[in-house]
Chain A
Amino acid sequence: MVPKQTAAIQSNWMNGQASIGFRRLKSSLKNALLFIYAIFTLYPLIWLFINAFKTNDEIYSEPFALPNQWHWENFTRAWEVSGMGTAMVNSIIVTVLALALTLLLGALSANAIARFNFKLKVPIVGLFLIGMLIPIHSTLVPLFILMKKVHLLDTYSALILPYAAFELPLAIFVISAFMSSLPKEIEEAAFIDGTGYWGIFWRMMLPLSAPAIATVSILGFLRFWNDFAFPLVFINKTSLKTLPLSLSVFSNGYSTDYSLTMSAMALAVLPTIMIYLFFQEQIMKGMVAGAVKG
């Protein structure tokens, strides 16, 4: 009896070993597969950055190779030749102002919706929710007509105002969801101290909602910084063009100075990639939440 049992235990143990080996093999196979996929998915970007350092001849003759010499001067040349400085400044101005407007109005409205009860609450929330369903492109033509009538074409406001308007529903939704989770005692204590509504908003609700405001800021930054349709339609003056719009001139196919265009593109995506590396988790969560609600 006893030896049989030991044999059974032993064979069980050996099976266990075998299955552990099999599992290791499976997991390394899985990781290899994932690694290949990751490189595959990153490759267009890697290719862009490598080509940005090459000369035009190298781009033609050795498309996969690393550059023989890393031509950092490509970037200074791209910066000077393609007027990226102006475009970058325009993008920064538009993005920052649109973000400020979105956050201010969004936080105020979120505060009202999350912390107060009033008759029109449900229809107002419903109105903003409908706004999230509207495809932006279906408003391009009427917005253009509107901008033309109020003489806003070719101004920063032509971008800032609609950006804020379209981002408001998401901002209100994210910030008010967060504010609703804050304890009711905040206001009660503040009222006893004699703090008014404004004081409560500026000194308590706003600082406490910092995480939600951060999420909205990151998403808004990406949306405004990358947007192309609005500047394409509303901006004509070269001096007011934002980054995506000024890059889009390379799409006509006439420009064969690839090392110039690729280094310009690399410069343009660098800020968003940096932000992504720092705030990955927030960006992923925020974008998914935004997409699902919208």
Chain B
Amino acid sequence: MPSHTRARGFLAFCLIPSLLLFALFVLVPIVWSIYYGFFSWKGIGDAKFIGLDNYKEVLHDPVFWGALKNNAIVICASLFGQVPIALFLALLLSKSNMFQRFVRSAVFMPMVLSSVVVGLIWGYIYQPQIGIFNLVLDYLGLGSFKKEWLADPKFAIYSISLPIVWNYIGPYLVMFIGALKNIPGEIDDAVKIDGPGPFRKLFAVKLPLIWDIIKVAVVLCISGSLKSFDLVYVMTGGGPAHSTELLATYMYNNTFAIYRYGYGSAISATILIISLVLVAGSQFLMKGKSR
């Protein structure tokens, strides 16, 4: 066996480059965002220490709270859109023949597309002149509901939620199909003998058995919705009148559109804290329920 020191040298060589890269570009920025949050800085010249002022301003900014509310709307749309649709489809997609695999692949497809392209496509779909959304409403006899979907501050955030729901059903579908397959066959046989209806079978037998996976899906919905930046940036840029601002676009617009690096850092730190609290909180809540 090679000597101990040689093993050590090899280990160091294996780990140190990764650790350095990771620390420099992932961990250091986190610390910096909290640190620069205490400064007023325009990107050039000296940064001025202003204590907690940036953080106070974040908490007193109605746009920040509006963005937080919009994030909540996106989370709700994901929770009540993605999870039920994925679950419903998963119940129908119990076999793995060609057709069913095709449907599953079709549902998953948006996941591999660039979110810029997804945003642009949906922007065109909603577009008043060439878009097909209003045309479809016309065909359905719902012409009176036609709108400029992305330009109307009252509806824009809901218009944006639809492509977000559409985009991310795939992973939940794959998770649920896997979970349903893992239900042992004996349970199915036992259910057949007892003979409950399909709904009781679903709610009394199947759902409790895959409850753990549903919990994971809920946590993913919550943490995932904080990541939707590209779609909103491309479709509306946070407008009109901040009506589609999410935390991430709010951070971007404050930092790179009006060059308030200190303030942007404070928002970054706030986003980090919110997402950690949300994920930890949802995990804790879900654990409590299952016991």
Chain A contacts to B: CB under 8 angstroms: 30-31, 33-35, 37-38, 41-42, 44-45, 47-48, 59-60, 63-64, 101, 105-106, 108-109, 111-112, 116, 118, 124, 127-128, 131, 133-146, 148, 161-162, 164-166, 168-169, 172, 191, 196-198, 222, 225-226, 228-229, 232-233, 243-245, 247-248, 250-251, 258, 261-262, 265, 268-269, 272-273, 275-276, 280, 283-285, 287-288, 291-292
Contact = CB atoms under 8 A, between A and B. Distances in A.
Contact of B2 (A141, A197, A265, A284): A197
Interface stretch (B153-161, B184-192, B202-210, B249-257): B249-257
Contacts, number: 267
Q: How large is the interface on B (under 10, 10 to 19, 20 to 34, 35 or more residues)?
A: 35 or more
Interface in B75-94: 89, 92-93
Nearest to B216: A292
A268 B272 contact: no
Contact of B29 (A106, A142, A243, A285): A142
Contacts of A226: 112-116
B116 A247 contact: yes
Contact of B30 (A101, A134, A243): A134
Interface in B13-40: 13-15, 17-19, 21-22, 24-30, 32-33, 36
Q: Which 10 A-B pairs have the closest CB atoms?
A: A165-B25, A142-B29, A142-B32, A112-B14, A226-B114, A139-B29, A244-B116, A38-B106, A197-B10, A108-B14
B123 interface: yes
Interface string B85-108: 000010011000001101111111
B125 interface: yes
Nearest to B260: A141
B171 A288 contact: yes
Q: Which one of A106, A127, A131, A137 has the greatest number of beta carbons of chain B within 10 Å?
A: A137
A44 B121 contact: yes
B235 interface: yes
A63 B234 CA distance: 22
A48 B118 CA distance: 10
A258 B124 contact: yes
A133 B120 CA distance: 29
B21 A165 contact: yes
Contacts of A166: 25-26
Contacts of B252: 137, 140, 233
Contacts of B106: 38, 41-42
B3 to A, nearest CB: 11
Contact of B112 (A64, A161, A272): A272
Given A133-B276, A243-B114, A248-B116, A108 B103 contact: no
B13 A108 contact: yes
Contacts of B115: 226, 228, 244
21 contacts: A34-B100, A35-B99, A41-B166, A45-B110, A48-B121, A108-B13, A108-B14, A109-B14, A137-B229, A139-B30, A142-B36, A145-B261, A146-B29, A168-B22, A243-B114, A248-B234, A265-B120, A272-B112, A283-B112, A288-B174, A291-B171
A61 to B, nearest CB: 10
Given A139-B29, A198-B10, A228 B272 contact: no
Contacts of A146: 24-25, 28-29, 32
B1 interface: yes
Contacts of B164: none
B279 A45 contact: no
Contacts of B130: 59-60, 63, 258
B117 interface: yes
Given A105-B21, A136-B227, A142 B268 contact: yes
Contact of B109 (A42, A142, A228, A233): A42
Contacts of B226: 135, 137
Contact of B116 (A127, A137, A228): A228
B227 A38 contact: no
B129 interface: yes
Contacts of A262: 124
A250 B13 CA distance: 46
A111 B218 CA distance: 33
B271 interface: yes
Given A108-B14, A226-B115, A161 B26 contact: no
A53 to B, nearest CB: 15
A244 B114 contact: yes
A243 B25 CA distance: 23
B235 A268 contact: no
Nearest to A284: B174
Nearest to A143: B29
B238 interface: no
Given A44-B122, A47-B125, A161-B25, 5 more contacts: A38-B107, A45-B113, A108-B15, A127-B19, A141-B255
B269 to A, nearest CB: 7
Contacts of A37: 89, 103, 107
Contacts of A244: 114-117, 230
Interface string B44-74: 0000000000000000000000000000000
Interface in B212-256: 216, 220, 223-224, 226-227, 229-230, 233-235, 237, 248, 251-252, 255-256
